[in-house]
Each structure stands twice: as C-alpha cells, then as structure tokens.
C-alpha cells in the first residue's frame, strides 16, 4: 500500500513490491494471483484498521458539527 501511495498503482510493478517486501516473485504469486488482488487485500486491511475510528467519529452520540470537526482532524493528521 505504501508503494502505491508513494507512486501510483499503475507505476508500481510486482518486482517493486517484491523488492520492498523482501520476497521472491514466486512467493508473491503464491499469496496473490495478481497485483490487483494484492491491492484489494491491502485496501481491505486499511479499511478494517480505519473503520473503528470512523465508527467512533460518526457515532450517534456525537453531534454533527463535532463529527465534521473530528473527521477533518483525522484527515489532516493522516495526511500530515
């Protein structure tokens, strides 16, 4: 995910991914049929990590203005 974020999905190759991860192409293709399958798995993992934070921000117990402020704070923090 970091390589895709730094460069872009289209410019990152399986070779780049393998080099960063310290694995062979054979190991990569054993775990993932394609680069798109790896990207989907990485996005799913990122979503599962972020979901509890978003659930807390958008709780029914939190007012709309506070939700907006907390969401913007989260975005600024993650982008910084």
Q: Where are the alpha helices (DSSP H) in the chain?
A: 2-6, 14-21, 25-31, 35-57, 64-79
Q: Per the confidence metrics, is the pTM higher than 0.75?
A: no
**Domain at 10, CATH number:** 1.10.357.10
Q: What is the dihedral of CA 42, 68, 54, 38, to 10 degrees?
A: -10
Confidence of residue 29 (pLDDT cuts 50, 70, 90): very high
Containing structural domain, residue 31: 2-79
Contact, 41 vs 32, CB < 8 A?
yes
Residue 34 per-residue DSSP state? S
Q: What is the mean pLDDT of residues 21-46?
A: 95
Structural domain total, the chain? 1
Rounded-to-integer distance, Cα 34 and Cα 72, Å? 35
Confidence bin at 54 (pLDDT 50/70/90): very high
């Amino acid at each position: 995910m970091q390589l895709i974020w730094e460069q872009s999905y289209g410019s990152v190759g399986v070779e780049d991914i393998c080099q960063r991860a310290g694995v062979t192409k054979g190991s990569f293709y054993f775990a993932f049929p394609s680069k798109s399958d790896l990207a989907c798995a990485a996005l799913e993992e990122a979503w599962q990590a972020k979901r509890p934070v978003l659930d807390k921000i958008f709780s029914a117990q939190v007012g709309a203005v506070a939700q907006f402020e907390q969401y913007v704070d989260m975005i600024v923090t993650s982008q910084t």
